[in-house]
Amino acid sequence: MPRKPLPIGTYGEIRTHQDKRGWRAIANFRDMDGVTRPVERRGRSKSAAIRNLKIALIERGKRRVGTEINADSKFEDVARKWLAMVERLVDVGDRSPTTLDQYRSVLNKHVIPAFAELRIGHEVTVPVLEAFLQATRTNKGVGVAKTARSVLSGVMGHAVRNQALDQNPVRETSRLEGRRKRGKSGRRALTREERVQWLAQLEADEKATRWDLPDLSRFMLATGVRIGEAQAVYWADVDLDEALVDVDFNVVRVKGKGLIRKSTKTEYGERTLPLPSWAVEMLRHRFTEAGEPSDGPVFPDSLGRLRDPSNTRRVLRETRGSEGFAWVTSHVFRKTAATILDEAGLTPRLIADQLGHSRPSMTQDVYMGRKAVSRETADAMEGVI
């Protein structure tokens, strides 16, 4: 009957031998890949050799073969391995490229300079992490501190998964709270009179019309979509006969690739929205003016390509005027759409579906829309402008 193999991560009987160089201790260790390998350590005495071997066996049991991560690993080495893992997740579509860019930036600018040479299992402690996060919150702001906390948690979690640590110390640090915004979202919705004035102001501004801001404002008011979602809509996503638009993508800038269309944040972000008649009329006019394009963005740049949402926001700030509308941002149109639907008596679930939220509570807390939405949303928008 064959001998039963050692359990994974354990070792067998320790054997000792003496030679001209001193004592050596040997034991078979079954690695995480299931292969049993001999491990040897030397010492000036028998007890020293056994002690050195046991220390090596304990450390070997804390890590997976090939990871080269253990409690003595430097933070920067583990961080680079973690970032490479995130890059692989981006390549297969499980992580957003914008998230990767944000993590990489904060890791290189803030986290690595503070932790690079620290040993992952002995020196990256809860007090050290807490002091860094609180200092970052004070000096760089709560947003940077929260991202840094996510990065640190990712790195230390990677160490835990590779058995270099027993638990993630970042979880024991304090929550990072920012200042409470005014009202529910810090901005209010546009009134009916303000909507008319806003569009008239943009129509009279040459730069605003060149950048499609009047029609883009109308589209966002009609749908409640984000500016990146609006600029990711292609003509293939629009059904003018049925008065529907598919919102499945968002425009983002990826380092080394430029502007791309990426899928929306969640399954709830992928939705089909009905359009009010005035929005369909606006889109028909654009379709005709563009020479009835077969594809391409509905709101393109001057060369017919995707337009950068960041640049569009900048032009919006430049053309909104210094008085009256200085508080307006692209997100105000989203809030306005939600407010109109709320005032029309639509349910929070229906409004959440329109905005692409998974939870109606999020919509209620921040803005007062899941797949095909009720025709009621378009009917409620008929009198917007």
Give the total residue count for the chain. 385
Read off the tokens for 385.
């402008």
**What pLDDT sits at residue 324?**
80
CATH of 192-380, one of 3.30.360.10, 1.10.443.10, 3.40.50.150, 3.30.750.24: 1.10.443.10
pTM for this structure?
0.60
Q: Place domain 75-172 in its CATH homologous superfamily.
A: Tyrosine recombinase, N-terminal domain (1.10.150.130)
**What pLDDT sits at residue 164?**
85
Tell me which residue has tokens 């749908």: 223
**What pLDDT sits at residue 45?**
93
- Rounded CA-CA distance 277/280 in Å is 5
Q: Where are the domains of the chain?
A: 15-61, 75-172, 192-380
Q: What b/e readout covers 16-40, taking b as 16+ CB neighbours within 10 angstroms?
A: eeeeeeebbbbbbbbbbeeeeeebe
Task: Quote the radius of gyration of the chain (alpha carbons, Å).
Answer: 29
Residues 232, 306 contacting (CB under 8 angstroms): yes
**What pLDDT sits at residue 352?**
84
The four Cα atoms 319, 324, 327, 328 give a dihedral, to 10 degrees, of -50
DSSP 114-173: HHTTSBTTTTS-HHHHHHHHHHHHHHH-HHHHHHHHHHHHHHHHHHHHTTS-SS-GGGGS
Full pLDDT tens readout for the chain, 385 residues: 577 888 888 899 999 999 888 999 999 998 877 889 999 999 999 999 999 999 888 877 765 544 578 888 999 999 999 999 998 888 777 777 888 888 999 999 999 999 999 999 889 999 999 999 999 999 999 989 999 999 999 999 999 988 788 899 999 999 887 655 444 444 688 999 999 999 999 999 999 999 999 999 999 999 999 999 999 999 999 999 999 999 989 898 887 788 988 887 566 678 899 999 999 999 999 998 887 666 899 999 988 899 999 999 999 999 987 678 888 999 999 999 988 988 888 888 888 888 887 767 656 656 553 345 667 777 877 777 7
Sheet-wide strand order for 271-274: 238-239, 244-247, 271-274
